[in-house]
Amino acid sequence: MDIPLYATLFSLGLLGGLLSGLVGIGGGIIMFPLLLYIPSAVGLATLSVKAAASITAVQSFFGSISGVVAHHRHRRVYFPLAIDFGGAMALTSLIGSVLSSLIPEQWILILFALLAVIAASLMLLQRPEVSEPSLADREYHYSRARAWGLGAIIGCCAGLIGQGGGFLFVPVMMAFLRAPLRIAIGTALAVGVASSAAVVLGRIGTAQIPWLLTGVTVTGGIIGAQIGSELSQRLPRRMLRAILAAAILLTAIKMVWSLVA
């Protein structure tokens, strides 16, 4: 047994789960590059792009479930939006996931970097919210047609890069569906359950998942998501926005730099 590798993957899963529960990004925007670069950087086995993407997909699925349970306790998950947005994503994510086995790894990295830049830009352009009522205080209204259209587009891209696309959910919900920050975070995790499930099914069907390494990573992710979800309810909104924008932006820079290098 490669104990150092398992310990590293558990720690990375814990970090990904923490971010998943904290800012609703599913952990994929962080997990994918960490799995790709950290094990080899510390002298352990090098994971291929597709292995890292497959582990990320499964970790995002279970981390999202763990985060939804925690955020639902605080009434921050709007299930009608999650069903509309997630339903469209589930259909197109499965298609993208199956097609991913036919696409060169370099193109997967390019698409990932492009989506990260778009998500970071959306967060940086958002105006600060004046107030943020809970779902216990009022209903949240949105365009169902717009939710389905956005979900379908993001779903196809998410399937291709091998994760739930959670790093796009919160910026898109805030920018185009007028969702308050904490409701966007909680609902994004619920959407992540559906989209990640579709991606995982596609990866299983094409035999791309290393199960033992994935199981270790997922265990850390479930624990981290519970911790992050509780912290998310206590931190100021401005800090949550800054953490989310920084996480996406730093990862975008890293992926672009890797492509250039």
For the chain, give every domain's residue range. Answer: 3-260
Of the listed ranges 3-17, 94-108, 125-139, 159-173, the least confidently predicted one is 125-139
Mean pLDDT of 89-118: 79
CA dihedral of 71, 74, 77, 79, whole degrees rounded to 10: 120
Mean pLDDT of 220-240: 84
C-alpha triplet 120, 125, 126: angle, nearest 5°: 100
Residue 255 above 70 pLDDT?
no
What crossing angle do the helices spanning 166-176 and 28-41 adopt, rounded to 10°? 150
Residue 2 is predicted with a pLDDT of 82
Rounded mean pLDDT of the chain? 79
pLDDT-derived band at 137 (thresholds 50, 70, 90) equals very low
pTM as predicted: 0.72
Return d(Cα 199, Cα 257) in angstroms, integer: 27
Those residues with Cβ within 8 angstroms of residue 173's Cβ, 6 or more apart along the chain or in another chain: 81, 85, 179, 184, 187, 188
Residue 1 above 60 pLDDT?
no
Mean pLDDT of 134-143: 64
